[in-house]
Amino acid sequence: MTLVHANDLTAIATKVLLAAGTPRAGAEVVAASLVESDLVGHDSHGVRRLPSYLEMVRAGRIDPAARPQLGGVRAAAAVVDGRSGFGQLAARTAVDHVRRLARQYGVASVAINNCEHVGRLGEYVQLLANDETVGLALGGRGTNPLALAAPRAPGRPALVVDFAAPEAGHGLGVLIELIGGLLSGAGVSGLTTREDSNGTVIVAMEIAAFRPVAEFRQRAEEFCALLSAGAGPIPGEIESATRMTRVREGVPVPDDIWADLASRPGGPAHRPARP
pLDDT tens for the 275 residues of the chain, in order: 889 999 999 999 999 999 999 999 999 999 999 999 999 999 999 999 999 999 999 999 999 999 999 988 899 999 999 999 999 999 999 999 999 999 999 999 999 999 989 999 999 999 999 999 999 999 876 678 899 999 999 999 999 999 886 655 666 666 666 666 666 665 556 555 454 467 899 999 999 999 999 999 999 999 999 888 876 789 999 999 999 999 999 999 999 999 999 999 999 977 776 66
* Total tally of structural domains belonging to the chain: 2
Whether the model clears a pTM of 0.85, i.e. scores above it, the answer is yes
Tell me the per-residue pLDDT of 198-215, one tens digit each, with 9 for 90 and over.
789 999 999 999 999 999
For the chain, where are the alpha helices, taking DSSP H only?
Answer: 6-19, 24-39, 50-58, 87-105, 121-129, 170-177, 213-228, 237-249, 255-262
| CB 159 within 8 Å of CB 152 | yes
Q: Report CA torsion sign: 158, 95, 202, 106.
A: positive
The residues, any chain, with a CB within 8 Å of residue 121's CB and separated by 6 or more, are 137, 138, 139, 145, 146, 147, 162, 200
CATH number for position 125: 3.30.1370.60
**Domain co-membership, 77 together with 184:** yes
Note whether 188 and 257 are same-domain residues. no
Same domain assignment for residues 205 and 83? yes
- DSSP secondary structure letter of residue 98: H
Q: What is the DSSP letter of 7?
A: H
| 95 and 213 belong to one structural domain | yes
How far is it, in rounded angstroms, from Cα 106 to Cα 102? 5
Do 4 and 93 belong together in one domain? no
DSSP-based three-state secondary structure for 136: strand
Is residue 220 domain-shared with residue 264, that is, in the same domain?
no
| Shared-domain flag, residues 139 and 215 | yes
Residue 245 domain boundaries? 1-65+237-275
Could you read off the pLDDT of 180-194 as tens digits, one per residue? 666 666 555 655 545
Q: Are residues 170 and 109 in the same domain?
A: yes
- 73 shares a domain with 166: yes
